[in-house]
Structure 1
Amino acid sequence: KSSKQRYERFRRAYQEGKTNELSLYRKKEKDQDFSDRDHRSKKDRRRHYLGNYVRWLWKFWPTVVLLVVLSLLSAVLELAHPLFLRHILDNVLLSDTLATAERIHQLHLIGSGLLVVILLGQCISVFKNYRTRTLNLHVMISLRRSLFDRLLHLSLVDLTDMKTGGVISRLSGDVNTTSGLLQLGLISPGVSLIRLVLAIGMLFYLNWRLAFAAITVLPVAVAISFLVAKRIRPIYRAVRDDAQHVDGRVGETFGGIRVVRGFQREALESLNYNIGRHEIVRKQLFAERREIALWTVWGFMMSCVGLVTVWFGGYLQVNGRASIGDIMAFQWYAMLLLNPVWQIVNSFSELQRSLAAMERVFEVLEMQPDKPDRKDAVDAPATVESVEFRNVDFQYNEGIPVLTDFSVCIPGGSVVALVGRSGAGKTTVTDLVARFYDPTNGCILVNGKDIRDFRLATYRNLLAVVQQDVFLFDGSVAENIVYGDSSASFEEILDAAKRANADQFIQELPKGYESLIGERGVKLSGGQAQRLSIARAILANPQILILDEATSNLDTESEQLIQSSMRELLAGRTTFVVAHRLSTITDADLILVLDEGKIVERGTHSELMERQGLYTEMVKRQQESMATNA
């Protein structure tokens, strides 16, 4: 659909009050909003998030108190300005009893006092603004750190649902906006309310008749303003949802740029991006028009207050019930009255953006971390003597079994190969070993103890994983290898690279081990990236090694060289190997043949070949394919 068609759909949903349909993507994608998991009402959920946010901010309370005190001092000094003006007009300039020299002396004296008050107020204001910015930065850094840490520990299912765009938008824009919630939602409205009370008090002190006339327009203005501002919030939520989707699509586009160019889809991706951004602009303008209407109403009300002050004040002055100084001071106080009210209304409008962002941040902060340690959890053993699957069932989605009654006992130090057709559950087995997921039923035991009884961090220290889809970071060769053990020396890095048959090609790079390999290792070939990944696992010196088709991207020569070093590498380690090339697992201590999530055959290579079963069929088919290709 074009951006205009999407915008019309959005506008109809807004007019009908269907706030959950303001974003085209919210109903289609689970990553937009995890609040569906919370059955509380929106009001209760928002109140809950706000309460948690306030408790989270408690560590900043000394700075908050300081800012409130500084704001009050600044307000008191500002309220003193009209009194100086009133005194100058009534008691100096318009006085018939003072001589000219005395008037000039009083004018200089009062003017100097006013100058001191203004300078003091400016100094307080500068210091307050600096502390406000500092507080916002500290809140932003602390919130981003907490959110990043929680995202790192979410389950793979939650992260997959959230998608890369959702993660990035929460860490960047949402955190930036939420950090201003302290100022918009607490400090600014509280101080403005106090300023409002003080200003009203001064108005009644000067002239109670004029005060009643001036404030009659305020309730109408405030009611209209809050009503309009409340209607703006769902629009900004929809804008954030759409921006998250578009940003996520951008990441996918450039992550798969070779596919995009290979199929000549540059124009299509550009069109999709422009439509998405154009739709966001339309929605932003939709919100801006409502904000402009709010500002127009408020500006009219401010003008009305000024008109009433001059009009009715002039009438009172003619009848001897108010002085010129009273009218001028009252006009100034009327503006000081309207400013805090406008700040409260304006902050409420801005608050809608911050609340939308805060909800998205705190709904993630409240999500349960992946596999929290049990209360009686213990450290994982230093050595692995056995790994046992006991009646393990597993489902990614309810009702769709991936593994069924999977049972096997593996002695420590054994090499176990997992083979089977695509979708048989081979990678799922290794994911369960790594505790990326937990069994739906049954358990996995290490040294006779359920791995869920171990502290997850200590258990993961036993593991190293080399996957088929290699992920390398944008850094140097050495930085990617040392990721397996941050305390390793360069000599250990060099040794790991040699054992993975990676040292030779690394030395040929322009800067050797300091050469930059680009995002996801784009400057390396597939085989080179795979060998670097293997070197990283070797450096980790794991007790359990998972090789998920780790040699699939290697050419024949590199694979042969690695196989010779693998015997030394795998010695003493419990290793799970997933491989399509069955020729690479002939030396495995145990081969498990999987079909539709079940173990249909088990044994060594020679034992399975003698049985003439599924494994033999797969080996022969692969040999025939290799002979044909040769």
Structure 2
Amino acid sequence: MFHTPSSRQRYQRFKDAFRSGDLKQLSLYGKRNDDDAAPADEADSKKGKRKQRRRKYLREYVRWLWRFWPTAVLLILLSLVVAGMELLHPLFLRHILDKILLDDQLTTAQKLQSLNLAGGIFLGVILVGQFLNVIKDYRTRQMNTRVVLSLRKSLFDRLLKLPLRELTDMKTGGVISRLTGDVNTTSGLLQLGVISPGVSAIRLVIAMVMLLFLNWRLALAALAILPIVMAISFLVSKRIRPIYRAIRDDSAHVDGRVGETFGGIRVVRGFRRESLERQHYLIGRHEIVRKQLFANRREIALWTVWGALMASVGLITVWFGGRLQVQGRASIGDIMAFQWYTFLLLNPVWQIVNSFSELQRSLAAMERVFEVLGMPEDKPDKDTAIDAPDHVHQIHFDQVTFEYNEGQPVLCGFDVRIPGGSVVALVGRSGAGKTTVTDLVARFYDPTVGAIRLNEMDIRDFRLQSYRNLLGIVQQDVFLFDGTVAENIAYGRPNATMDEVIDAARRANAHRFIVELKDGYDSLIGERGVKLSGGQAQRLSIARAILADPHILILDEATSSLDTESEQLIQESIHELLKGRTTFVIAHRLSTITDADIILVLEEGRIIEQGSHAQLMSENGVYHQMVLRQQQSMQFQR
């Protein structure tokens, strides 16, 4: 029976990692490693590399944001104007108190007249400030929306161009979490990391100048505590950031598991594992909540210290200001204006301190987003790349060796010449390298050693999109999109007419069952074609490849999901379709490839037999034995 660490053990591991600063272990699902045993200088080196990566991502983010600089400048100017108008409020209060209400030389009528005038001006300043603040908030939201849209577009484009290996390692949950939550959080980095702290810092400086102008002794007493607050905020926030990165990594893993659970719900229910999947989900979410609470406790401690220190500032202002007023060295207006300026001083300090915590979330999300944006594209075209030819004379596997993992070759010294228009069948046990051969033909991967040549030219010398225009693929694991039948058939050729779609469906023996659906070709088939049977989905996949009209066709176990009658009908129509096309076929049932021009028998990534069906049967070799075993198995099943 398989065991996983208990919730308490996982949480204890997380706390130990936090105390030791081992950031890689903060993630619930992070891989265990030997960093604990690494020398101190090696740990310092890794820490330095993390900082370098973070700085690199920040620089890239700043360069990326440069396209929004006009809006950013407008927001900064609006923020400064609004802040400047707010800083006038205490001066109005001081004027009203000292020059109007407490001035014994004015009559009651003069006081009322002056009060109405000052109050009207004060109200006008407030209304104008609020109007500008509304504009600023609207423009801020508008810019954040544009940033999110632009960032999602850039991230989605890069994800589509990433190497297949990187996408496989990232998993679906990681991709979705980056496109949704991480991008949303990253969009606030400009506001939290640049505009808000910058404007708050300017407001802070102006408020300090005004405090010093009103009474420098009182100002020095009130400002003495601020450096302590800022230092504590910085230290706490620095420790919180890796926790938020770990929370996002764990959320991506849990979301990915949820996608797998409902994508394979038939398997889950078939093996009665609902309770296990529920346990996986609850454990993952429980650990994420624990980490959030762990970070929240530290944030609450920060706010508690901050509140106590700020309360002491107010107490000092009242006590020391009262003494000055009693001594005749400050007026009531000075003290009230000073108190107001103290509030205006504390507000930007609060915003800066609060932005530290929010900034950590944004930085953690930014690292995950720009980690992907910084990945190299999958097989970028060479500067000298040319368009692929519109015909296939020959495909040559020229001493090809391929490794998924270094030192573990899947294909080794694979060498064969395939004339254009030939049907090539790949035969062998599971893991022999059949699918790898077709993946190399499709340029999902490139050879580690050697080359695949089309008409004597390395296929890496062609523009990738131009080369893939030659291809049509029917996969073993059929993938259909959540759309209509017609949309899925026309996926590889979206400009096809309805007549062409129907013709392709007829050739794939799919037309009959399609017209029996409620809405025919406009019927929705559900996510991954869940509303269709396995055979129906397979036939739609074949129709999609037929409509694409490719020069090179890859049929990866294309008829393995069909009943015998449907398979026979499809074989007859495909036999006509394949004339003049170079086709690679993988099939478990060897009876379907007897007409192949070339049969390659693979074993451990090497070609051990090669020839037509008749030739290989006459040699009494491995292929002959495989055919006999399948025939005996079929007779036994009957």
Shorter chain as normaliser: what TM range? over 0.9
Q: Alignment partner for residue 18 of structure 1, among 7, 10, 22?
A: 22
SS class of match (1:41): helix
**What does 1:105-124 correspond to in 2, within 5 Å?**
105-124=113-132
Measured after TM superposition, the shift of residue 28 of structure 1 is 4.8
TM-score scaled to structure 2, two decimals?
Answer: 0.96
Matches of 1:58 and 1:393, distance apart in 2: 45
Determine if the alignment matches structure 1 residue 313 to structure 2 residue 332: no
Q: How do 1:87-126 residues align onto structure 2 when only pairs under 5 Å count?
A: 87-126=95-134
Task: Give, as a single letter, the amino acid of the residue that structure 2 aligns with 1:310.
Answer: V
SS of the residue aligned with 2:585?
A: strand
Distance 1:346 1:526 in 2: 55
CA contact (8 A) 2:233 2:356 kept: no
**Partner residue of 1:384?**
392
1:263 and 2:264 matched: no
- Structure 1 runs of 4+ aligned residues shifted over 4 Å read 37-40
Q: For the Cα contact (< 8 Å) 1:426–1:594, is it kept in 2?
A: yes
Given the alignment, which residue of 365, 373, 377 partners 1:365?
A: 373
Per-residue CA deviations over 1:412-463 (Å, capped at 9, x if unaligned) read: 1111111111111111110000001111111000111000000101001110
1:511 to 519, 523, 536: 519
Q: Is the 8 A contact 2:470 2:551 kept in 1?
A: yes
The question of whether the paired residues in 1 share the 8 Å contact of 2:424 and 2:583 is answered with yes
Q: Which has the larger displacement, 88-97 or 224-233?
A: 224-233
Contact 2:428–2:602 (Cα < 8 Å) also in 1: yes
1:342 aligns with 2:346: no
Structure 2 counterpart of 1:337, one-letter code: L
Q: Partner of 2:361: helix, strand, or coil?
A: helix
1:65 pairs with 2:89? no
Q: What is the match of residue 160 of structure 2?
A: 152
- Say if 2:561 is the partner of 1:553: yes
In structure 2, what residue type is equivalent to 1:27? Answer: K
- 1:482 to 2:490 alignment: yes
Q: Tell me, yes or no, if structure 1 residue 5 matches structure 2 residue 9.
A: yes
**Mapped contact 2:426–2:434 kept (Cα < 8 A):** yes
Kept in 1: contact 2:25–2:32 (CA 8 A): no
CA RMSD of aligned residues (A): 1.4
Q: Match for 1:180 among 166, 173, 188? A: 188
Structure 1: any 5+ residue segments left out of the alignment?
Answer: 30-36
Stretch moving more, 604-613 or 538-547: 604-613
For the 8 Å contact 2:432–2:604, the answer to whether it is kept is yes
Note if contact 2:207-2:344 (Cα within 8 Å) is conserved in structure 1.
yes
* Distance in 2 separating the partners of 1:388 and 1:44: 45
1:386 Cα shift? 1.2
> Is the aligned partner of 1:432 residue 2:445?
no
Matches within 5 A, 1:400-549: 400-549=408-557
Distance 2:50 2:408 in 1: 33
Matched, 1:590 2:598: yes
Judge conservation of contact 1:230–1:349 (CA < 8 Å) in 2.
no
Distance 1:170 1:198, change over 3 A: same
Larger deviation: 132-141 or 253-262? 253-262
Question: Does the CA contact (< 8 Å) of 1:379 and 1:459 recur in 2?
Answer: yes
Asked whether the equivalents of residues 19 and 234 of structure 1 are also in contact (C-alpha less than 8 Å), the reply is yes
1:9 deviates by 2.0
Is this contact kept in 1: 2:28–2:287, CA < 8 A? no
1:402 and 1:15 map into 2 onto residues whose CA distance is 43
Write the distance in 1 (CA, Å) between the matches of 2:192 and 2:557.
53
Q: Do residues 143 (structure 1) and 143 (structure 2) align?
A: no
Q: CA deviation at 1:17?
A: 2.5
CA shift for structure 1 position 40: 5.8
Find the counterpart in structure 1 of residue 242 from structure 2: 234
3-state secondary structure, aligned to 1:192: helix
Structure 1 residues 256 and 38: alpha-carbon distance in aligned structure 2, compared to 1, 3 A threshold: farther
Summarize the Cα distance change of 1:38–1:145 in structure 2 as closer, same or farther, 3 Å threshold. Answer: farther
Name which of structure 1's ranges 223-232 and 546-555 shifts more when overlaid on structure 2.
223-232
Task: Provide the rounded CA distance (Å) in 2 between the counterparts of 1:137 and 1:3.
Answer: 39
Deviation (angstroms), 1:38: 9.0
Q: 1:215 to 1:40 in 2, by over 3 A?
A: closer
For residue 18 of structure 1, report the CA deviation from its aligned partner: 2.3
User: Would the alpha carbon gap of residues 28 and 552 (structure 1) be closer, same or farther in structure 2, given more than 3 Å must change?
Assistant: farther
Q: TM-score, normalised by structure 1?
A: 0.97
2: CA distance, partners of 1:534 / 1:28: 43
Write the distance in 2 (CA, Å) between the matches of 1:418 and 1:263. Answer: 33
> What whole-Å deviation, never above 9, does each CA across 1:224-273 have from its counterpart, x for those lacking one?
12111211112111211221221111111112111111111111111121
SS in 2 for 1:487: coil
Amino acid at match of 1:198: I
8 Å CA contact 1:394–1:403 kept in 2: the answer is yes
Instruction: Pick closer, same or farther for the CA change 1:39–1:373 going to 2, 3 Å.
Output: farther
AA aligned opposite 1:24: L
Listed one character per residue, the Cα deviations across residues 526-571 of structure 1 (whole Å, up to 9, x for unaligned) are 1110000000011111110000110111100000000110122111
Number of residue equivalences: 624
